[in-house]
Structure 1
Amino acid sequence: MRDRYGHLDIDSLLPLHNQQEQIAVGVREVFVPQTVRTDPPPVDLPRELWQRLADSGVLDDRDLPGDLDHHTLAKLRHSYEARPARPVLEVLAEPDGQKMVLLGDPGAGKSTLARYLAVVLAQRGGDVLPAGLVGLLPVLIELRRYADPTWRGLSFVDFLDRQHHTDDRLGLPRTLLERRLHEPGRVLVIFDGLDELFDRGDREVIAHQITGFATHYPGARVVVTSRHVGYQRGPFDAAGFSHHMLQDLGQKQIDLFTQRWYRIACPGNPPEAARLRERLLTAIASSRSVQELAGNPLLLTILAVIGRRQTLPRDRHNVYRHAVTVLVEHWEVSKHLAATDPALPELDREDKLDLLRLIARRMQDGRAGLAGNHIVGTDLFRMFETYFQVDHALPPGPAKVAARAMLEQFQHRNFILSRFGSQVYGFVHRTFLEYLAAEDIDVRFGNRELSESDLLQGVFGARWSDPAWHEVLLLLTGIREHFAGRIIDRLLAADPYWRLRDKLPQHILLAMRCLGELRKPVALGPRHRAIAGALTHLLESLRSRPYDLALLTAFKQIVVPVITTLGPRWPGRDYYLAWYRLRGQIHLSDLRMDSRQMASIANQIALALDPSSDLRQYLFTVATDHHHEAIRRTAVEAIASGWPGDPETLLWLRERITDDADEYVRQAAVRAVASGWPEDPGTLPLLRARATGDTDAYARTAAVRAIASGWPEDAGTLPLLRECATTDEHEYVRQAALRAIASGWPEDAGTLPLLRECATTDEHEYVRQAALRAIASGWPEDAGTLPLLHDYATGDANAYVRRAATQAIVSGRADDPGTLFLLRERATSDHHAYVRDAAIRALASGWRVHPGTLPLLHECATTDNHEDVRMAAVDALASGWPEDPGTLRLLRERSIDDGNEYVRGTAVRLLASGWSEDPGTLPLLRERASSDTHEYVRQAAMHAVAVGWAKDPGTLFLLRERATDDANEYVRRAAVRAIASGWSEDPGTLPLLRECATGNVNEDIRIAALTAIASRWPEDPGTLPLLRERATSDDQPIVRDAAVYAIAVGWAEHPGTLPLLHECATSDNDEDVRTAAVNAIVSGWPGDPGTLSLMRQRDAVDRRKGAQEAHSRRSR
């Protein structure tokens, strides 16, 4: 057993032409037990669809083959959730595991589990097994060997007896085996690989033999392994076998496997093992596709083998090429074709890869595109048939035979394609579809079937906005690395109007991801500045979109991993750090409190690019001395995340918590200590003291939340939270404590009574709202919940509480007969707009088909006396009834005649987005952009025209007219920015911007023009002179400040820059401009002899400002 099954077959994980990296890996040394789910659903789905179904329960119709519907999928998901994953060894050891079938995907570890059990039970000792398995005699029967004609006709016992007398001695003598089999609970018999019997008749015969064996020896524990594709469970159900499906490995299992693997792969070299393991785990965490592969034990092993030689994820296309090559080479299709008809051609590796690429191309050209990952069996058959006729010159008859044999191979034997639904096929791993689609495009590009223009415009230009194509585009970038510069240029220029949209700027994010694909990013040269500029523009744009959670998530998942991987070697580093020190913190300090995470991300990027002590000292100085508390707060967060291992950091943070004069800084320090040092014995006492003793409510709130999330098991936590929820003088603290109790202690007998008490007696509406929402979500079935919500929806004196109760009633209670009546009454009769707004939105989403909803919305859109309610009704009509002829009429009427500019602006945007094809939309928008009496509407209409009709010859004329003639400076500034973004190639744009930068116009317009010129025309010979002239001669300090910043960041290497900054730092008559110049010199030229005196000057200015602001706060 040990000699035959004790080691993994690493040779099979290496391409046949590259077998030199052989290492001996024992099964017991690396095996990580999987988990299983009981009685898996009967429908086969590709892995990524299963995962999406499990995560969200939602799949797009395009993702599904024709014979699967959402009703079936809902039942599948319910089945999935009702059967939680459990450790496989525990399930095998249970009484119900006496007769069991273990199903799994190819590579799920079925045979490895069988071999592990055989070896560990045979050797006895060492591994800890569940009690039900300890002491069992292992018998492993490889069914592919048993099915060999040599053993045909033998019983399993006869087969094992014969095996015992052969050279490998894997069997057992008949007398010993018979005796043990008849003794209850003495033997574990594993029949491994039922799916490896390709002939269906053989499978059926042997399945009945196995069930008969289990019946004849009821005391034996019997386990059968098989792939789930093609498995027929009827005989095993009839014999009382239970069924379990092996699950993908989770993160903890992956961590454990990689630790064990590299310990063996790097004997005697723990540092190297740790380095390789961390590199692989980072690659897995950074890529959705690699994560998908890593859940499969076989593919995880392939990743680990490859990880010894190359870095992931930058070599992902090579990883996938290796995996596909291994699986294709070990797929013996030619042997099967020859068995079907000896005259059929032999297919080599390239033939098989050609076929797979053709399938990927057919899928990407289908209705669902790359999002679908499925192809109908008849289409696949015709593809194979055509392939054999064209590429191998087979006549139609033999081509059909070969095609049918190929289809059988993919259905029953191959790892890459599998069947799901009825006669519908897809790639088992979506990653294979994406890789092969990318390789297909690359092969055609290399063969000159596709030109450079086809690749840049027809592939990247046409597909960058489709998320289903992103992985293919990234792989192509990695494959064609020498072409990456032009690809990134194309992406960065793909959407010049992104600032005008609410959607994610996918082109910038995709360009950042492409940067992460490159093995030699330095080869991009000057493009790194463009990438860094796009990154800083993206961060600065957050001032106008502070609640954009999608962008925040994109930064966390895309930008931070890419920049962290590149680190200080990124050539765009200096540009970003210059922006971060000179401008970044100022911009980010203007963000609202909800966007502090984005400030933290900007800090993370800076720390990844400059982990030096210089940056640390700079942040310490900023955190303690800067006059702006928001900048001090972000510096505190950066220090906590950048140097958590330094003992000085914790001491310094505690000092901030107790001594800093600003409540926001103390709040940031509280959060940092709670999340970064939860094990320190002083942390919990410090937080308790802050929760009850800090003079500021924000700091107390931060402490309450930290204690509730970090120490829920501590006996003192719940009493402290109850005290804060009922006795703290500030509503924010009471609200935070109440929410923590509701979410963390719902089973406690005192929680619901406390929530009801606070909902009825607390004096502040925020606390009553929080209590009502907690009751509605946590106790929806309680008999007192619905009456309580009804009472507060109509009777509370505060509109916010009535709104919260109204929203809570709707959630999950659409069938309640009183709900519709209450909503209609609230939508028309409540005296506050917030409540009417909530009721209207609830009716539109939950009662769309009710005949009274549409007329009510029309009435509210035209007659309600508050603009928020009319806007809510207009928005609901546009999204819910776009086909109704009355909707378009109402939107046109509201865009012109409504008395409120925000309603008119909303109608304008809805017309542009939903009715762009209507011939009347563009004329109406142009008229609104020029003639509306309010700047908000004119700007909204102008933006809509610029984004939706950029190629219309009248659009640029409209923008130029608005840029020069509009009465409002905000409209003129927006027009300037739109022209600079979308028409930089027009010969009239740069002269217009220069005119705006120097003319007698509003200073904000001059800044917008200067910023556009500096970022888009840095190479123009007139740009630097213009900036120098504005930095010294403009009559507005804010314009001079902007010019100083642009010069310092963009022309740091120019010999005239430092002298100019010295001049501005000492001679400008405005203190802010002098300070900006000093900051630029200190940040960019720390070694300059004059820097020290300038630092002293800045320090004095900052202290004076700090003292003035402190005095102002005390006076308030």
Structure 2
Amino acid sequence: MSDTPPPSDPTPSDPTPSNSTPSDPSLLLLSPEERRSQRRNRIRQWASYLGLSGSGIGVVAAIALLQQGQWLEAIGVMVVTMALTGLVIMGQFARKLTDRILDKIEERLEERIEPLATWVVDGLEQWMTGLWWQGWSPFEQRYTQSLIYEYRDFKTQGQRTRGPFALDLEKVFVPLRVAPDSLDRMPSTLIRDADARSNLQIWDVLAVAQQSTFRRLVIIGAPGSGKSTLLEHLTLTYAQRRQRRYHPKAPKLLPVLLTLRELREAIAQQPTLDLATLWEQQPTVQTLNPPLRWLHTQLQRGRCLVMLDGLDEVADPEQRRLVSAWVDQQIQTYPTVTVIITSRPHGYRTAPLSKIGTLLEIQPFNSVQVQQFIQNWYLQNELMSRLGKDDPGVRLMADRKSADLIDRIRRNPPLAAMATNPLLLTMIATVHCFRGALPGRRVELYAEICDVLLGRRQDAKGMDGSLTAGQKKSVLQVLALNRMRHRSEEFSTVTGGLVIQKQLDAVAGNAVYPEEFLQYIETGSGLLVEERAGIYKFAHRSFLEYLAAVQIKELNQDMLLTRNIDDPWWEETIRLYAAQQDASDLVWAALQRQTVESLSLAYDCMRESLSMRDRSVRQELATTLEQGLESTDGNLFRLAVEVQLSRRLKALLRVDDGTELDGTLVTQADYQLFLDEMRQEGNHHHPDHWQGDRFLPGRAQDPIQGIRAQDAAAFCTWLTYRCGNLGDLYLEGDSSVFVGDSRIRIPTVEEAQAYPISSSRGIYWCQGDRGLVLHGMSDDQRTAWLMQLHRAGDRDADGIRAMAQTLTIPALPPRPASRHAPHPQTRDREVALSRARDRAFQRLLTQALPLEHDLDRALALDAIVSLHHGNLAGWMQDINHLRDRQQALLVSLPQAKTLAQRIIRDRTPHPASDLTWLRAYTPLVALWWYDLADVYERLSRSSRLLRLNQRSRQQCQALAQTYRDVVESTFNLYACWVVLDERRAQQMPVWEGLRLVREQRDAD
């Protein structure tokens, strides 16, 4: 059999063969409505035919039977005929029902026709291609099947701790984000589509591979960023012919994956070898017995996706440049082939390719990718450990374990930074699953990672080394401690060589030069990275701090740490040291300093320490922090709260590169410090239900509740100022403009939903589309609150009636029925007002209570527009009453505004009578607005009055709606007075809490 390419595949846009064209081409041009009309006509014709024909035949048959004297038969025929006639009559209804059902089915099918057609065509294409492979290309089938066997498992190179089962790469893999070196050459449609997803993936680039610029790709990435796994995923996907699942325009290609490290010797010995010949020499290919020059034919036809992995893993610089030149030559030899080369950044910079069209860089995992990978990894691990059994119980267990790890990573900033690297995240997940080493024993995790990166991973990749992992680690410990002492992460090749020379000689003699060692660590393990020519640094600062802590422990130099106990540069190294040793001396040294930084660090050391032999030190720290939060001594209280706030801000959950979210609510002690400092400036923000200026004893660690929205925003502004150089705010007009590196703010509703907190009192302010809203209130809590507001409103009824009499506001008299617009009865109005109040109360729970704005809007009584030309007595009577009520309400307007503004601005408790007066006055205003809306609504339904008043129906309806909105706003205001009054009397529960977000300002 010949290995010729398959015939052209049918395109999705034309899946129907020419011989299946309908006999009437005009049917293809009918609109959906025209097709439905024709179908209905056919149904009518069938029903008419059945009805008339059946009735006529039945009558004729009955007459014939009567003439023959067959009475019983004639009666039977007549009964059947009458039944048939009745069915035809009833068929009118059935026909209409059938029409509606068929219309609905057709509408649903039309919505799904395009994706359904695409699915059918893709399936047909895959089936036809599979048939061709089976019938005409047996080798290609064997080859792709061998790739599936080779790359279907998710590989964790070199890990000591690993699960007993191989995981499915396709199920674990998370699509990686890539970024081009320049957007100028990228197609605008590609960038636009990627921006819509906030991602640019390799599939987006492959989809435009028909352009020569995007057929020749280099993908660079940091060690462990997933370069090799990405190529393995592409190979597996193309071998399974599933590329269209990732992008509808992904080209159909034949995958060829080669590792340059394994080809370097052959290329160095014979640089003229072509790609096809080199591929045929691979042992895995030779076992398949390929046809002569088979790959050469496929390459010439441009059918292949050639992936060359690990240019940087060609260690010798001269060999690397030779390999780069060979790759350039292959691109020139096969110009229509799609080629992808991967490398670490430095490895590519030392031997760049001249024929490359596009350079892409793999981006670190964002928080969504971290979460998706952990969930995929745990689900696959649970499924494999149960021999593929998949049921809700297995998935629930995977969800619990993945949620625990995700939460631990979010709460640990150093781990969160490391988790953006796919290799390190895989190690973290493996250790978490099989060793339970997170987060308290972070030193064990770092030891595992260093062991993998320094030894086992290189062995797995076939890299020989003359030093053991322990020996290399001892050299790096010396280097790490030197960098910590000099307060600099970067170092030159010369400096690093001088620092490690003595220890390197001790473990390797004269066999390894310092410069070679640094380069070997950079290319082989990734623990060091070359930032620029001749300048190195540790890949993560966590590695620098961990290795320094290990060296300090081995040298017994803990005095170096106690001298720097309140120095932020050393704090993580101190924590990691405490996790390996008894922390009593460190905690005691921190207690002597009595600073926020030292006490915060002491508390962390006590929690993470291997042991605390001195119980008196532990007790003294507990007294300073825990009892200090309840202390009435101002200095002790301030110090304890500042330590707590400092630890809170260091334990924020990482959402993405620029956002961190608090996992708990602000406590009463935290809020008290804000109140104390604001009170010194003459500002009061205490909760309305507090009877004094301080929280109740024993409540320091309880969440603050019952704060207004503007108070929550003020706390965030205060904390932003207080965090030193986080940022500044300045006023521009009436707005606050933030300038600085980061700020504290209230979370958005989306953030609160994505990252919930586990607390029964987890109700707090969030930023919604239309302002600050409350998040986390249950239906039962909402119902209880509404019932209390209703009961309070019922108690206000007598006060409202008494004020109406005091202000001499006449009741609106009943009107006779009118054929134009009947006046609503009193009961109907009460129902309407009750519903309006329900809506108002519900909105109250999700609004920021901007009282002054609502007050001015609700009491703008001069906005009434008189109806000059109404000549019907009933309408004029309503209008006159409205004018009388307006004048009566205006008399008390100054008193209402003065009292309301004083209550809003002055946070000291007021006599209950003050709010009682407003609780009666505000509903009267709302009722006046309601009646005004009612007048305009009835006016809009009377053509005669519209002509007399020279207003359009739309104008009157718009005015009616405007006044109805004011009614709701006024009821919100009334509800505010009720809430304030009831809470001051301790008759209504409080819920409104505060959660924090720290947001980094964009660099631009």
TM (norm. structure 2) is 0.50
Greater percentage in strand: 2
Q: Which has the larger radius of gyration?
A: 2
Greater percentage in helix: 1
TM (norm. structure 1) is 0.45
